[in-house]
Structure 1
Amino acid sequence: MSDPFEGDFGREARPACQLYLVSPPTFDLEAHARALERALAAGGPVAAYQLRLKGVADAEVLAAAARLAPLCRAHDVAFIVNDRADLAKAAGADGVHLGQEDGSVAAARVLIGHEAQIGVTCHGSRHLAMEAGEAGANYVAFGAFFETGTKEVRHRAEPAILRWWTALSPIPCVAIGGITPANCRPLVEAGADFLAVSGAIWNAPDPAEAVRAFAPVLA
């Protein structure tokens, strides 16, 4: 699998923005597997998928990972587990995404190894982003940029933080929060390397068409 979060992300050489799909917090596994397969087969610019199940047993997370990770790998898409480095390791995931209350980058690195990808939620904070970068995160995530029904919005971010980060650091940044094809252009223009999207894909009648709808803005 190619590694979407590694490579030369220098200011003059940053590649085109790509999509980072995030699962709904709950779902019917087989129905979601079909939707994911449709989304990944769309031929659109999808680089990563995050399994973000909330309020379920560890066994359910691992069962979902066993079903969904092969779909991602078949399409050369990174498979990331949310919150739990131990579950990411158990699932054989490509990495873990850590919230601010999910433990340190250093501890996750010890557990899942140097080849794994570790992302960190930084909300709208430059300080948190600097800390994550210094700790060895492979990417930082800023948001929420817009209102979203996926989770309660307690922190907001503005496109200026993307411009600041991309001018400062080669570490890629992810924009998240209520992102749709209709509102994402300012984030792309501000320098987001990835757009984390959930409802815009899974709530659409056809996930494949939803992925393709982003392509003209990302190109």
Structure 2
Amino acid sequence: MTDLASQLYLISPLDVSGTFADRLARALDAGPVAAFQFRVKDLDEHAAARLAEPLQRICADREVAFIVNDSISLAKRLGADGVHLGQDDGTVEEARQRLGRDTQVGVTCHDSRHLGMEAGEAGADYVAFGAFFPSGTKVTKHHAEPDLLTWWSTLFELPCVAIGGITAANCAPLVSAGADFLAVSGDVWANAGGLDEAAALAALVEAVRRAPPRATEGLA
């Protein structure tokens, strides 16, 4: 953990082949990252595991949690630190049965307070709300507002993750609203504004540090 008001939760691009392992190492070395989510699509488990293993080692060497997106089976095969479940990717109970009590389980809850409370009651380790902004890496079907993060963090101790189109330029309201984690992908990997992954990650860290603190008066 660091002194950042919102920890960084880095999500992979869909293509993690080629030189991506080197890019990941550079990004993680550029600033504090709490977790990395391995997110690939349309690959069989054997191919996904081959791509994941070197990335998992890079994360382990830097004490960054390695989270598998969608697949309880792949998370088990890899011995991952956690799994992130969409609403159609299995249940928290199933993940616990197959992965054990020590594996982190996160759940996508879109813009729904109800889904968030359901996930919490089921024993999730964190809930993810979004999308807060349009995303270039995923079709945006649900739009969440920052006050959802404030509501959640005021009432519940369970950590919340903000996701969806988050960049160094727009993250401040989410930090101030109470996001425990900011899930970021495109802003780091897409070389936006000519920045490589290390510079982009460093810019995100600086933006979080500069974000106005959350107002607490009247929230209890």
Q: Does TM, normalized by the shorter one, top 0.5?
A: yes
Instruction: Tell me if 1:176 matches 2:163.
Output: yes
* Residue of structure 2 in register with 1:213 after alignment: 203
Write the distance in 2 (CA, Å) between the matches of 1:30 and 1:37: 13
Q: CA deviation at 1:15?
A: 6.5
Q: How many residues align?
A: 206
TM-score computed with the length of structure 2 as normaliser:
0.90
RMSD across aligned positions (CA): 1.4
2:18 to 30, 36, 50: 30
Q: Does 1:199 align with 2:186?
A: yes
- Counterpart residue type for residue 59 of structure 2: C
Q: Which residue identity is paired with 1:189?
A: S
TM-score (norm 1): 0.91
- Per the TM alignment, residue 66 of structure 1 is displaced from its structure 2 partner at its CA by 0.9
1:175-206 Cα deviation digits (max 9, x unpaired): 00000000000000000011100000011241
Equivalent residues of 1:15, 1:193 under 8 A apart: no
Quote the sequence identity (%): 56
List runs of 5+ in structure 1 lacking aligned partners: 5-13
What is the alpha-carbon distance in structure 2 between the residues aligned to residue 88 and residue 102 of structure 1?
12
The one-letter code of the counterpart of 1:73 is A
d(CA) in 2 for partners of 1:73 and 1:16?
23
Equivalent residues in 2 for 1:155-170, closer than 5 Å: 155-170=142-157
Write the letter of the residue equivalent to 2:13: P
How far apart, CA to CA, are the structure 2 residues paired with 1:25 and 1:165?
A: 30
Q: Give the match for residue 101 of structure 1.
A: 88
| Aligned pair partner of 1:122 in 109, 116, 131 | 109
Report the Cα offset of residue 60 of structure 1. Answer: 1.5
Take 2:28 and 2:89, find their aligned partners in 1: how far apart are those partners? 28
CA shift for structure 1 position 30? 3.2
1:69 aligns with 2:59: no
Which of 40, 50, 53 is matched with 2:40 structurally? 53
